[in-house]
Chains A and B, each alone.
Chain A
Amino acid sequence: METHELIKALAADSRRTGVPMNAAWWGAVFAAVVIAATVFFVLLGPRSDIASAAQTLRFLFKFVVTITLAASAFALLRMLSRPDMDPRGPLRFLAIAPALILAGVLIELAVVPAETWSSRLVGTNSLVCLTFIPLIGIGPLALLLLALRHGAPSHPALAGAMAGLVAGGIAATLYASHCTDDSPLFVATWYTIAIAILALLGALAGRRVARW
């Protein structure tokens, strides 16, 4: 088939355009939150003392970090789903959430006695955290990868990892309302590992799913 012949066929097919990327992304993220929340409320649910916990800075700080991560990774994911986006500039926004948690860790180390550091870091829920953040996040990750497949990422593995960070951010936000380990030392360690698992899964899956 000659190129001018191919063009005739493409022009004749001009009526059916795909769903716009903005609609695809907001639809995917809405469905992702619904699925994550459903899994969370069925399997875990919020902690019983959530009302009094919400009066403490440490508890609230967890949400600042996880929501910042989810939002910044989502903004990047949307950019990465288009072929002509150069991710190098915007990638630095991804440093906001780690910078926040690092600041939280430093403050925690300054204000609590050194002999409680290790018990605060180890906590009591590390295995629950490592199990349930990936479990809550896996459905959202699948949905976000579907939306990514609809796009045309020039860096599919990076974009897949970003989808994993968004899914991890959503899952961690929900999980944070269940977990009684509020120390930034705990969050910086176990949340990071759990979210990294999803990012790794996303990167591996992205290379296959988001090929085009």
Chain B
Amino acid sequence: MDGVDEGSLARLFRAALDGDERAYGDFLHETARLVRAWARRRAFGGPDPEDIVQETLLAIHIKRHTWRCDGPVTPWLYAIARHKLVDALRRQGRHSQVEIGEVEDRLAAEETETIRDWEIGRALETLTPGQRSVVTAISVEGRTIAEAARSLDMNETAVRVALHRGLAAIARRFGRD
């Protein structure tokens, strides 16, 4: 799946907005790839590019109604990514006294390939227990809505609502301290 062009990305997104879950997943994976490459070129020594990727994906999700369906999708994606990168750089500027040490630590961590704790982990901790278990079941454990409903003893509507609210709360909390 290398080099998906503007046209097919827009087609995927349009199908996604019509409710095609699989198309949405493909669209988000492709977007993550684009934003990752983009962020790596711009955030060197700054915020973790993967944080930018995740924050951008969440913002795309929450604000997907701001895309004009008849317009191109990549300028819209990069505008959101830019907004989030600027946000992250600004945040880091506020905590710049720890910058050097932090960067060295991160480089060391990347060398040893340890599992990194991204910002999203911190945002996840601020959710209500119910929202957190639903979000975790579907993301980390990879369950479907129906499976999550069964394992958590909830009905599917409640799972959908908890997931929706949980993701919105993560997007709001992301990177805020």
B150 partner residues in chain A, CB cutoff 8 A: none
Q: How many whole Å from A131's CB to the nearest CB in chain B?
A: 36
Q: How many whole Å from A128's CB to the nearest CB in chain B?
A: 40
Chain B, residue nearest A85 (CB): B79
Q: How many whole Å from B29's CB to the nearest CB in chain A?
A: 6
Q: How many whole Å from B9's CB to the nearest CB in chain A?
A: 14
CB-CB contacts of B7-39 with A at 8 A, as 1s and 0s? 000000000110111101100110010000000
CB-CB contacts of B66-92 with A at 8 A, as 1s and 0s? 111001000110111011000000000
CA distance A11 to B28 in the complex (A): 8
- 8 A Cβ contacts from A3-45 to B: 3-21
Decide: A151 and B57 in contact? CB cutoff 8 A.
Answer: no
B61 partner residues in chain A, CB cutoff 8 A: 10, 13
Decide: B76 and A83 in contact? CB cutoff 8 A.
Answer: yes
A1 at the interface (CB under 8 A from B): yes
Decide: B139 and A21 in contact? CB cutoff 8 A.
Answer: no
Chain A, residue nearest B116 (CB): A2
A93 at the interface (CB under 8 A from B): no
From known contacts A9-B135, A9-B163, A10-B28, infer whether A18 and B54 are also in contact, taking CB-CB under 8 Å.
no
Chain B, residue nearest A1 (CB): B120
Secondary structure type dominating chain A contacts: loop
Chain B, residue nearest A155 (CB): B83
CA distance A82 to B21 in the complex (A): 24
Decide: A10 and B59 in contact? CB cutoff 8 A.
Answer: no
Decide: A3 and B54 in contact? CB cutoff 8 A.
Answer: yes
Q: Which residues of A contact B (CB under 8 A)?
A: 1, 3-21, 81-84, 150-152, 154, 212
Give 21 pairs: A residue, B residue, CB < 8 Å, sorted on A: A1-B120, A1-B121, A3-B32, A3-B53, A4-B32, A10-B28, A10-B57, A11-B25, A12-B21, A12-B144, A13-B61, A13-B164, A16-B164, A17-B65, A18-B63, A82-B66, A82-B68, A83-B80, A84-B71, A84-B79, A152-B83
